[in-house]
Amino acid sequence: MKASVKRVIIVGGGFAGLNLAKKLANNQYYQVVLVDKNNYHFFPPLLYQVSTAFIEASNISYPFRRMFQEKANLSYFMGHLLNIDTQDNSIETDSGTLKYDYLVLGMGTETNYFGMENVKEHALPMKTIDDALHLRNHVLLQLEEATRSTSIREKERLGNIVIAGGGPTGVEIAGMMAEMGANIGAKDYPTAQRGTGNIYLVDGGESLLGPMSKKSQEEALKVLLKLGVKVQLNTLVKDYVDDKVILNNGEAINSATLIWASGVVAREAPGLPADSITRGRRILVDEYNKVKGTENIFAIGDQSFQNTDVDFPNGHPQLAQVAIQQGKLLAHNLVNIAEGMPLKAFKYNNKGSMAIIAKYKAVVDLPKKGFFKGFFAWIVWLFIHIIPIAGFRNKGKLAFNWFWSFVTNDPTLRLIIRPGQKRHD
């Protein structure tokens, strides 16, 4: 590495970090090292499709080293961040210590259990590929056990699924689980069904899809109720004990499956100045995504909190598009730093939000063109979520597998491949 070339370490290979790295590929000014505990990037918006056995995990994931082939200035380092030494300009990982000229934090978020230890221990989160595969195995194992049970109450416990959180993830899982139960469970596990087991969607707000439009919220509720999902609003999960989901209204739902999609908190970045951390453990940054109280550390994506954008004075939503745009702009600004040019402040270009609810049912909110729903919205959702995977070189395979699974209502991925392996958060 030439002495004049600066080293950029990116911690986290999600949307933010990966887009930054790709934009700096083959750049003459920087040597880039991407640090991540997993050796692959994955596409979180389609995680629940893996958990419900509609697509393979390999369809939404791709190895970093494969991506970085023929990009001489990009490299991958497997490791988990343990500490940042701002004086020494180095980071400590569980695989060794790395020096940096510029450090970029893009580690995203992790599941927030709000201090409920029983929920943390026994609920099923939906943040990683491991989580999705574990959930798939868990649901299939409950169905296998239900086929052997002769007790109606036991079948009910095994068949009941409670989903905590009525945001896009919770709504999408609820709709897909309902489709899975109606179209797949009845075929594969007829003796486990027999009218036992329900899907419950619980949320503390007054409506589903809280950040979206009222029309989207109403459509989501209507579709889910039609699918048989039992929606409980203004209701929170209080505890989870002995396969009983205890709600704050005093009700207890007998269920072997609690799926937790109720909140996130930014991942820890030990070593940063204490006053640079704000609510939700997010990192305070300026208009250029530079961390407060530092000179050469940046934070992008869900982990960052930026209140300088006039349209988002309370910070940006923790969405993929924000992370992608921040990653790309930071790459541009790092080049400007190297060339002595002025930096460009970040301003989020809101492209709208969308959520799939069930088969051929989705909702889309666009900033200027408004709301639309139904089959067309479902098609838009599908292509919007497949186009970013183009770089994975398996876009066609994903589209074909996904369409075939939906058309036939009979995907072939119902494999219990890790039934004995415990989940590691």
Q: What is the mean pLDDT of residues 358-367?
A: 88
Q: Other C-beta atoms within 10 Å of 33: how many?
A: 21
Task: Place 402 in a pLDDT band, splitting at 50, 70 and 90.
Answer: low
**Residue the block writes with tokens 């509720």:** 221
Q: What's the CA gap between 47 and 241, in Å, rounded? A: 27
| Residues 160-171: b if buried by 16+ CB within 10 A, e if exposed | bbbbbbbbbbbb
Degrees, nearest 5: CA angle 176-174-155: 95
Residue type, 130: D
Q: Is residue 149 classed exposed, middle or buried when 0-12, 13-18 and 19+ CB atoms within 10 A define those classes?
A: middle
pTM of the predicted structure, to 2 decimals: 0.91
| CATH, range 117-262 | 3.50.50.100
Residue 410 to residues 140, 158, 324, 328: CA-CA distances in angstroms?
15, 22, 34, 40
Q: Which fold has domain 6-37+79-111+265-339?
A: FAD/NAD(P)-binding domain (3.50.50)
**What's the number of CA atoms in the CB half-sphere (13 Å) around residue 314?**
2
3-class SS at 133? Answer: helix
Q: Which residues lie closer than 8 Å to 310 by C-beta, 6 or more apart?
A: none
Q: Identify the weakest region by mean pLDDT among 205-219, 223-237, 399-413.
A: 399-413
Contact 117, 250 (CB under 8 A): no
Q: What's the CA gap between 273 and 389, in Å, rounded? A: 36
Contact 34, 10 (CB under 8 A): yes
Residue 360 to residues 56, 77, 228, 363, 407: CA-CA distances in angstroms?
20, 41, 17, 10, 10
Residue 401 vs residue 337, higher pLDDT:
337
For residue 370, the model assigns a pLDDT of 84
3-class SS at 365? Answer: strand
- Same fold across 6-37+79-111+265-339 and 117-262: yes
Degrees, nearest 5: CA angle 266-349-297: 40
Question: What digits encode the pLDDT tens for the residues 151-175?
Answer: 889 989 999 999 999 999 999 999 9
Q: Where are the domains of the chain?
A: 6-37+79-111+265-339, 117-262
Q: What is the mean pLDDT of residues 89-115?
A: 97
3-class SS at 92? Answer: strand
Task: Place 197 in a pLDDT band, splitting at 50, 70 and 90.
Answer: confident
User: In DSSP terms, which residues pair with 364 in a beta bridge?
Assistant: 354, 372
Q: What is the mean pLDDT of residues 315-326?
A: 94
Question: What digits encode the pLDDT tens for the residues 34-48?
Answer: 999 999 999 898 888
